Amino acid sequence: MSICVTGGAGYIGAHIVRLLQQAGHQVIVLDDLSTGVPTRIGDATLVQLDLGDTAEIPRIQAALDGCSAVIHVAGRKQVGESVARPAWYYQQNVGGMANLLLAMQAAGVDRLVFSSSAATYGEPNVARVREDIVMKPINPYGESKLVGEWMVRDAARAWGLRGVNLRYFNVAGAGWEELGDPAVLNLIPMVLQKLQHSQKPAIFGDDYPTPDGTCVRDYIHVVDLANAHMIALDYLERDERPFDAFNIGTGNGNSVREVIEMIGEVSGLDVTPEVTARRPGDPPVLIGDVDRIEQVFEWKAQHDLRSIVDSAWRAWQAGPRRIAL
Ligand code: UD1
């Protein structure tokens, strides 16, 4: 089958592309290459375009010719940036979804897996967040992802789109050394960058109401996450599809301190942290309830925190930012 992956040259997208290729699919990547790297997609066809540009709809439609499904990963994902530039986030994430759906309908492509986010939940005051709680995103990034989910639902009602929204928790690690996360925007790369510069890793606040005072998150290995997309494609083939949103996480939480300590164990480096001020907008705990995906997809995360950190470390050391030991 031919599958289109938007954002396929990015960190997560490239893992999905690799698994699709291993499964024997033809892959077409739509990517503006603003953060994506073309060498990451192997022999997939690359169409470079900005999904948020309405003038590109004909090119999107042409690229979709012959595709049986789209996995829509492309999007902006920085919370702080979304607060500073909300209209641009709506243009990119919501406008990009609108243009994609218009092109899909015109091209007769009716299967869509959408990369949503746990940021759509906001700050739920529960131990594990279920898919059916009231959605209260707290920033334009989370809002734009939630609107994207609504657009998938509305297209299903209007013209029979078969869509599914996957709500990612904290994605980390690398499936292949050359596919590590090139950005330094999340905890593990931020700690590694500090270590690279012989600085202490920062803990953004240790006075949260959690067991060790630092924030707790549900870290999911990028290969487990990418595998869930393969199953999502199969799910879209089913006639009975009771749910249109699924959490992708492990159901387990790890604190910032535990992650930093694991980086120390895996690397052998001194990771003594320094505690700095809280970062505004960080919920104390965000862990996914994964009962739904485990039952309906018969999918379960295979990798634990050690495996995630170990793979992230190996990928970091294989790249240009290698830390001298
Ligand atoms: C963030 C976004 C989330 C987005 C995800 C994807 C927020 C509130 N959430 O998740 O919506 O989907 O990125 O990129 O911004 N930390 C430190 N020291 C560091 C770096 C991070 O203590 O040097 C802490 C953070 O305060 C947080 C935890 O580590 O408690 C995880 O941070 P991060 O990896 O940035 O992810 P989230 O903030 O959970």
Question: Going by CATH, does the domain composed of 173-217+251-318 fall within 3.40.50.1370?
Answer: no
Is 90 exceeded by the pLDDT of residue 241?
A: yes
C-alpha closest to that of 68 among 167, 162, 166, 164? 162
Residue 30: predicted pLDDT: 98
**Which residue owns the Cα nearest ligand 1 atom 6?**
77
Residue ranges lining ligand 1, Cβ < 6 Å: 77, 79, 117, 119, 141, 170, 185-187, 190-191, 202-204, 215, 217, 256, 279, 281-282
- In this structure, of 22-31, 137-146, 205-214, 275-284, the range with the lowest mean pLDDT score is 275-284
The residues carrying an active-site annotation are 141
**Which residue owns the Cα nearest ligand 1 atom 25?**
204
Q: What percent of the chain has pLDDT over 90?
A: 98
The CA radius of gyration of the chain, in Å to the nearest whole number, is 19
**Distance from C-alpha of 195 to C-alpha of 324, rounded to nearest angstrom:** 10
CA of 187 to the centre of ligand 1 (A): 6
**Distance from C-alpha of 309 to C-alpha of 324, rounded to nearest angstrom:** 18
| 2-171+219-248 CATH | 3.40.50.720
Residue 325: predicted pLDDT: 87
What number does the ligand 1 atom closest to the CA of 283 have?
8
Residue 182: φ, ψ to 5°: -75, -20
Mean pLDDT across the stretch 126-148?
97
Mutate to test the pocket of ligand 1, among 144, 203, 215 (most ligand atoms within 8 A of CB): 215
Residue 280: predicted pLDDT: 84
Residue 218: predicted pLDDT: 98
* Contact between 70 and 61 (Cβ < 8 Å): no
Mutate to test the pocket of ligand 1, among 136, 187, 259 (most ligand atoms within 8 A of CB): 187
**Distance from C-alpha of 41 to C-alpha of 60, rounded to nearest angstrom:** 18
Q: Where in the chain is the domain with CATH 3.90.25.10?
A: 173-217+251-318
**Which residue owns the Cα nearest ligand 1 atom 32?**
187
CA of 152 to the centre of ligand 1 (A): 27
Q: Provide the token pair at 70.
A: 């789209």
Q: Where in the chain is the domain with CATH 3.40.50.720?
A: 2-171+219-248
Mean pLDDT across the stretch 259-278?
98
Is 90 exceeded by the pLDDT of residue 285?
A: yes
Residues present in the chain in total = 325
Is 90 exceeded by the pLDDT of residue 281?
A: no
**Distance from C-alpha of 199 to C-alpha of 233, rounded to nearest angstrom:** 43
Mean pLDDT across the stretch 34-53?
97
Is 90 exceeded by the pLDDT of residue 162?
A: yes
